[in-house]
Structure 1
Amino acid sequence: MKHCLVVDDSSVIRKVARRILEDMSFTISEAEDGQQALRVCQDSMPDAILLDWNMPVMDGLEFLGKLRLLEGGREPKVVFCTTENDVGHIARAIRAGANEYIMKPFDREIVEAKFHEVGLI
């Protein structure tokens, strides 16, 4: 079973994502910010990361840069999931190593489509 780390400071978003991803046969870990997410990745590198941009302590972009430097950190497929929708943000995310980008609010159909595009399902 594939493992997905859901990183978002909103417990509601984490809960919604968990339900969708568990229905897609993923095991789920959660983190409230990038710093917690890095600790999870250092303990056990996930197959996928659903990542918020704006979070306290360490934002998604900073986390992504640090993730990609870890041993095995280039392996997880990272899907940014955020309200930041301008082309500049999307370009920065892709340059930083994101594999895909989805907008909040999201639904199962969108998550499935993006995870399929990056080869996770």
Structure 2
Amino acid sequence: MQRLMIADSSDIVRTVAKRILSELNFMVSESASSGEALQRCKAELPVVLIVDAGLEGALELITGVRAIPNGDKVRIYYCVIEADLRKMMQGKRAGADDFLLKPFDRKILSSVFANLSIAA
């Protein structure tokens, strides 16, 4: 089972995403702050990291994870509310691999992450 972390300040978003992603056979951890997320990543690096663009310190979290040994192997998804090219480019420059548009639902998360959980 692959480790996946959700870093989002919204309790509801984390709870819903955790439920859906757990059903896709991910071992899901969650964090409400970028500092907490970075500490957890240093302790146990996830295979996938979902970072909300609205999280304070989101870009620093991404660059921080990339600086951890083997942090370059983490698949990082940067969550944006709309297809804001400027914000997406900031995430890409910080080291995000891909993007998720919010709000997401079961169908979106399943289509994006089902293949990743199978690849474990």
TM > 0.5 between the two? yes
Distance in structure 1 (CA, Å) of the matches to 2:68 and 2:82: 26
Question: What amino acid is the match of 2:79?
Answer: C
Distance in structure 1 (CA, Å) of the matches to 2:89 and 2:103: 20
* Greater mean deviation of Cα atoms: 47-56 or 23-32: 47-56
Higher relative contact order (CA 8 A, sep 6+): 2
- State yes or no: 1:42 paired with 2:45: no
Distance in structure 2 (CA, Å) of the matches to 1:81 and 1:16: 15
The aligned length equals: 118
In the other structure, the counterpart of 1:72 is 70
1:89 to 87, 90, 108: 87
In the other structure, the counterpart of 1:106 is 104
Distance in structure 2 (CA, Å) of the matches to 1:116 and 1:25: 9
Distance in structure 1 (CA, Å) of the matches to 2:58 and 2:83: 14
Q: Is the 8 A contact 1:53 1:84 kept in 2?
A: no
Q: Is the 8 A contact 2:24 2:114 kept in 1?
A: no
Deviation at 1:96, TM superposition (A): 1.6
Distance in structure 2 (CA, Å) of the matches to 1:92 and 1:11: 25
TM-score, normalization: structure 2? 0.89
Q: Secondary structure at the match of 1:74?
A: helix
Unpaired runs of 5+ residues, structure 1, are none
1:55-66 map, 5 Å: 55-56=55-56, 59-66=57-64
In the other structure, the counterpart of 1:29 is 29
Q: Is the 8 A contact 2:24 2:117 kept in 1?
A: no
Deviation at 1:25, TM superposition (A): 0.3
Structure with greater helix share of residues: 2
Unpaired runs of 5+ residues, structure 2, are none
Q: Is the 8 A contact 1:100 1:114 kept in 2?
A: no
